Structure 1
Amino acid sequence: MGRDWIIDVLADLRSFARDNDLPLLRAQLEEAELVAQVEIASHPAHDTRQHWSEPEAMFAMNTKAGPPRRS
Protein backbone atom coordinates (compact mmCIF):
# COMPACT_ATOMS: atom_id res chain seq x y z
CA MET A 1 0.00 0.00 0.00
CA GLY A 2 1.30 3.40 -0.92
CA ARG A 3 1.16 6.57 1.09
CA ASP A 4 -1.37 8.43 -1.08
CA TRP A 5 -4.36 7.04 0.81
CA ILE A 6 -3.83 9.62 3.55
CA ILE A 7 -4.59 12.41 1.04
CA ASP A 8 -8.02 10.85 0.41
CA VAL A 9 -8.69 10.53 4.14
CA LEU A 10 -7.77 14.16 4.74
CA ALA A 11 -10.01 15.24 1.84
CA ASP A 12 -12.94 13.30 3.36
CA LEU A 13 -12.33 14.93 6.73
CA ARG A 14 -12.09 18.35 5.08
CA SER A 15 -15.45 17.75 3.36
CA PHE A 16 -16.96 16.78 6.70
CA ALA A 17 -15.62 19.99 8.27
CA ARG A 18 -17.03 22.06 5.38
CA ASP A 19 -20.44 20.37 5.52
CA ASN A 20 -20.65 20.80 9.30
CA ASP A 21 -19.57 24.44 9.45
CA LEU A 22 -16.20 23.79 11.10
CA PRO A 23 -13.98 26.38 9.39
CA LEU A 24 -11.02 26.16 11.76
CA LEU A 25 -10.88 22.39 11.42
CA ARG A 26 -11.17 22.70 7.66
CA ALA A 27 -8.22 25.12 7.58
CA GLN A 28 -6.11 22.79 9.70
CA LEU A 29 -6.95 19.85 7.47
CA GLU A 30 -5.97 21.83 4.37
CA GLU A 31 -2.62 22.54 5.98
CA ALA A 32 -2.24 18.90 7.01
CA GLU A 33 -2.91 17.83 3.43
CA LEU A 34 -0.17 20.15 2.15
CA VAL A 35 2.26 18.76 4.72
CA ALA A 36 1.33 15.20 3.74
CA GLN A 37 1.85 15.97 0.05
CA VAL A 38 5.29 17.46 0.71
CA GLU A 39 6.38 14.57 2.90
CA ILE A 40 5.08 11.95 0.49
CA ALA A 41 6.89 13.67 -2.38
CA SER A 42 10.13 13.79 -0.38
CA HIS A 43 10.26 10.02 0.06
CA PRO A 44 11.25 7.59 -2.65
CA ALA A 45 8.36 5.83 -4.37
CA HIS A 46 9.61 2.48 -3.14
CA ASP A 47 10.06 2.06 0.60
CA THR A 48 13.67 0.96 1.02
CA ARG A 49 13.64 0.71 4.81
CA GLN A 50 14.64 -2.63 6.23
CA HIS A 51 11.75 -4.65 7.61
CA TRP A 52 12.56 -6.81 10.60
CA SER A 53 10.66 -9.53 12.35
CA GLU A 54 9.57 -8.68 15.90
CA PRO A 55 12.47 -10.56 17.58
CA GLU A 56 14.98 -8.86 15.26
CA ALA A 57 13.48 -5.45 15.99
CA MET A 58 13.57 -6.05 19.74
CA PHE A 59 17.22 -7.11 19.51
CA ALA A 60 18.07 -4.02 17.47
CA MET A 61 16.36 -1.73 19.99
CA ASN A 62 18.17 -3.37 22.90
CA THR A 63 21.60 -3.20 21.27
CA LYS A 64 21.27 0.46 20.26
CA ALA A 65 21.13 1.50 23.89
CA GLY A 66 24.50 -0.15 24.57
CA PRO A 67 25.46 -2.10 27.66
CA PRO A 68 23.61 -1.38 30.89
CA ARG A 69 25.18 1.24 33.12
CA ARG A 70 26.21 0.61 36.67
CA SER A 71 25.19 3.05 39.38
Structure 2
Amino acid sequence: MGQDWIIHVLSDLRQFARQNELPMLSAQLDEALLTAAVEIAGRSEGTLATEGIQTGLQSSDL
Protein backbone atom coordinates (compact mmCIF):
# COMPACT_ATOMS: atom_id res chain seq x y z
CA MET A 1 0.00 0.00 0.00
CA GLY A 2 2.92 2.38 0.59
CA GLN A 3 1.73 5.95 0.92
CA ASP A 4 -1.61 5.32 -0.78
CA TRP A 5 -3.26 5.03 2.63
CA ILE A 6 -3.46 8.81 2.86
CA ILE A 7 -5.52 8.88 -0.36
CA HIS A 8 -7.99 6.46 1.21
CA VAL A 9 -8.22 8.48 4.43
CA LEU A 10 -8.78 11.74 2.56
CA SER A 11 -11.40 10.08 0.36
CA ASP A 12 -13.26 8.80 3.41
CA LEU A 13 -13.19 12.25 4.97
CA ARG A 14 -14.45 13.83 1.74
CA GLN A 15 -17.30 11.32 1.59
CA PHE A 16 -18.23 12.18 5.20
CA ALA A 17 -18.19 15.90 4.36
CA ARG A 18 -20.44 15.38 1.36
CA GLN A 19 -22.89 13.19 3.28
CA ASN A 20 -23.10 15.75 6.07
CA GLU A 21 -23.55 18.75 3.79
CA LEU A 22 -20.16 20.33 4.47
CA PRO A 23 -19.36 21.73 1.00
CA MET A 24 -16.42 23.92 2.00
CA LEU A 25 -14.73 21.02 3.77
CA SER A 26 -15.45 18.77 0.80
CA ALA A 27 -13.82 21.29 -1.56
CA GLN A 28 -10.75 21.54 0.68
CA LEU A 29 -10.48 17.76 0.77
CA ASP A 30 -10.65 17.69 -3.05
CA GLU A 31 -7.60 19.98 -3.05
CA ALA A 32 -5.86 17.86 -0.42
CA LEU A 33 -6.48 14.71 -2.47
CA LEU A 34 -4.99 16.33 -5.56
CA THR A 35 -1.99 17.59 -3.61
CA ALA A 36 -1.36 14.19 -2.03
CA ALA A 37 -1.64 12.41 -5.38
CA VAL A 38 0.83 14.81 -7.03
CA GLU A 39 3.34 14.58 -4.21
CA ILE A 40 3.12 10.79 -3.97
CA ALA A 41 3.54 10.47 -7.74
CA GLY A 42 6.47 12.87 -7.59
CA ARG A 43 8.22 10.82 -4.95
CA SER A 44 7.92 7.68 -7.03
CA GLU A 45 9.43 9.54 -10.01
CA GLY A 46 12.23 11.02 -7.92
CA THR A 47 11.12 14.64 -8.28
CA LEU A 48 8.28 16.80 -7.10
CA ALA A 49 6.30 18.93 -9.53
CA THR A 50 4.43 21.85 -8.06
CA GLU A 51 2.49 24.15 -10.36
CA GLY A 52 4.48 22.82 -13.31
CA ILE A 53 7.88 23.60 -11.79
CA GLN A 54 10.34 20.77 -11.22
CA THR A 55 12.02 21.19 -7.84
CA GLY A 56 14.86 18.84 -8.65
CA LEU A 57 14.63 17.19 -5.23
CA GLN A 58 15.45 13.54 -5.09
CA SER A 59 13.36 11.26 -2.90
CA SER A 60 16.43 10.79 -0.70
CA ASP A 61 16.39 14.57 -0.01
CA LEU A 62 12.87 14.44 1.42
Normalising by the residue count of structure 2, what TM-score does the alignment of the two structures yield?
0.69
Match of residue 11 from structure 1 = 11
Normalising by the residue count of structure 1, what TM-score does the alignment of the two structures yield?
0.61
| In structure 1, C-alpha distance between the alignment counterparts of 2:27 and 2:44, rounded to whole Å | 28
Query: Over aligned residue pairs, what C-alpha RMSD do you find?
Result: 1.6
Gap runs ≥5 in structure 1 = 50-71
What are the within-5 Å matches in structure 2 for residues 1-71 of structure 1? Answer: 2-44=2-44, 49=60
Q: CA deviation at 1:44?
A: 2.4
Deviating beyond 4 angstroms after TM superposition, the runs of 4 or more aligned structure 1 residues are none
| Bigger RCO of structures 1 and 2 (CA < 8 A, at least 6 apart) | 1
Percent identity (aligned): 62
Q: How many residues align?
A: 47
Gap runs ≥5 in structure 2 = 46-58
Give the strand-richer structure, 1 or 2.
Answer: 2
The structure with more radius of gyration: 1
